[in-house]
Amino acid sequence: MASSIKHTFMLRWVSVGAIALVSLLLFFWLQPAQPSVSMNRSSETPTANNVPTPSTPAVSHLPTPEAVKAVYLTSWVASSPALRNQRVIQLIENTELNAVIIDIKDATGRIAFEVEDPKLQAVGSVQNRIRDVRPFIESLHAKGIYVIARMCAFQDLYYVTVRPEAAVRRVSDGGVWRDRRGQAWVDPGSREVWDYLVALAREAHSVGFDEVNLDYIRFASDGNMKDIRYPLSDGKSKREVMESFFTYFRDHVKDTGVVLSADLFGLTCTVTHDMNIGQHLETAAGIFDYVCPMVYPSHYPYHWEGHARPATTPYPIVKSAMDHAVARLASANISIQKLRPWLQDFNLGAVYTPDMVRAQMQAVYDAGLTSWMLWSPSNIYTKAALKGKS
């Protein structure tokens, strides 16, 4: 099992690396010039009679569709009206899709739009990529598109540079621990980080996002695990720390009414322990409105459940994972419709055809579920795998 989990982690990083590469290419080659639109009320210009301009009007929110069918959008692509329309918005308008997931804080730790909360501003992590975030979300709502904000939680490359006291540490010399890719992590037991994430979730809801989706809600892995120390989580099990964070996060944003979802490793559907990263299916499903296992067939180890190359057999891989998850939630008296898996629409382990993408959706339906989300690092999706508007 340890080697299987390591294999899964390694494949997950392949997708993350692809995202980073695509993001850089988009930033340097494709991003058009755009006017700067500040959302910071403190910078508003007074009127002639020295009366401040009115506060930004309240935003609208859409209810969660009964069956969410979503695609993922990086903040870099979202920053370009031409690219986001070409790659995602037109696709949603012309197919069965009805939702979009947009990065607002990716693994770099940078926040993708201007914020008003002074505590968020003080961290200095804002990199105002989506300059028109409010009108952009309003335009999506006008088309009936449900909008989800994706936040990376405990992998945050920027935060550890300005708040090193929150970082995961090395046992050997007390320095900042880094994984095999040289990435640093914040300690999941940091209450300061919890409050930071709560503040960003509240900010996201205030600009119009209908749902907040948490990713990287786990302990670090894939490095020298013999030399790792969590100074702010000592004395508690990893599962206990994550459950405490989940509950704290939910309780401190629930007054906004924002919907909450959590991304989990695909193996959480079948593995009953926390895989030494703190993730446990029933625990998360009992706290969040939705849980989103990343059941990408390419991320399962070779010979998983008898499949020599799982990436080449998407239907049985996804069907088995969701069958296990459905049975577990049903046994725990948790609604199975809280399950909303991430599906693969990228080439890893196999070249993904429209039939292979569609087979994953069918597996979800055959497991008794209705919702799914598609992941493509390039934000280019297989239109032929999607049905038209009904």
Is residue 42 one of the residues assigned to a domain? no
Inform me whether the pLDDT recorded for 91 exceeds 90: yes
Domain that holds residue 75: 2-30+60-160+188-226+237-385
Q: Quick one: average pLDDT of 20-43?
A: 37
Is residue 182 one of the residues assigned to a domain? no
- Of the pLDDT bands very low, low, confident and very high (cuts 50, 70, 90), residue 302 is very high
Inform me whether the pLDDT recorded for 26 exceeds 60: no
Is residue 54 one of the residues assigned to a domain? no
pLDDT number for residue 56: 57
Is residue 173 one of the residues assigned to a domain? no
Inform me whether the pLDDT recorded for 54 exceeds 50: no
Inform me whether the pLDDT recorded for 3 exceeds 50: no
Residue type, 145: I
Inform me whether the pLDDT recorded for 281 exceeds 60: yes
SS3 assignment, position 157: coil
Is residue 40 one of the residues assigned to a domain? no
CATH code for the domain in which residue 202 is found: 3.20.20.80
Residue type, 359: A
235 touches 173 (CB < 8 A): no
Is residue 210 one of the residues assigned to a domain? yes
- Of the pLDDT bands very low, low, confident and very high (cuts 50, 70, 90), residue 182 is confident
Q: What is the DSSP string of 27-69?
A: IIIIPPP-------GGGPPP-TTSPPPPPPPPPP-PPPPSS-E
Tokens 């990435």, residue?
A: 183
The token duo for 99 is 């939702």
CA–CA gap between residue 364 and residue 339 (Å, rounded) = 10
Q: Quick one: average pLDDT of 148-177?
A: 96
High-pLDDT (> 90) share of the chain, %? 82
Please, what is the angle between helix 354-366 and helix 314-331, to 10°?
20
DSSP state of 174: S
Q: Quick one: average pLDDT of 346-354?
A: 97
CA–CA gap between residue 382 and residue 356 (Å, rounded) = 10
65 touches 367 (CB < 8 A): no
Helix (H) or strand (E) run with residue 84 in it: helix 81-84
pLDDT per residue as tens digits for the range 187-232 = 999 999 999 999 999 999 999 999 999 999 999 988 899 999 999 9
Nearest to 155 by CA among 179, 123, 135, 131: 179
pLDDT number for residue 390: 78
Q: Quick one: average pLDDT of 368-390?
A: 96
CA–CA gap between residue 98 and residue 210 (Å, rounded) = 13
Is residue 376 one of the residues assigned to a domain? yes
Q: What mean pLDDT is reported for the chain?
A: 89
pLDDT per residue as tens digits for the range 117-147 = 999 999 999 999 999 999 999 999 999 999 9
Q: How many structural domains compose the chain?
A: 1
pLDDT number for residue 235: 85
Is residue 178 one of the residues assigned to a domain? no
Q: What is the pTM of this model?
A: 0.86
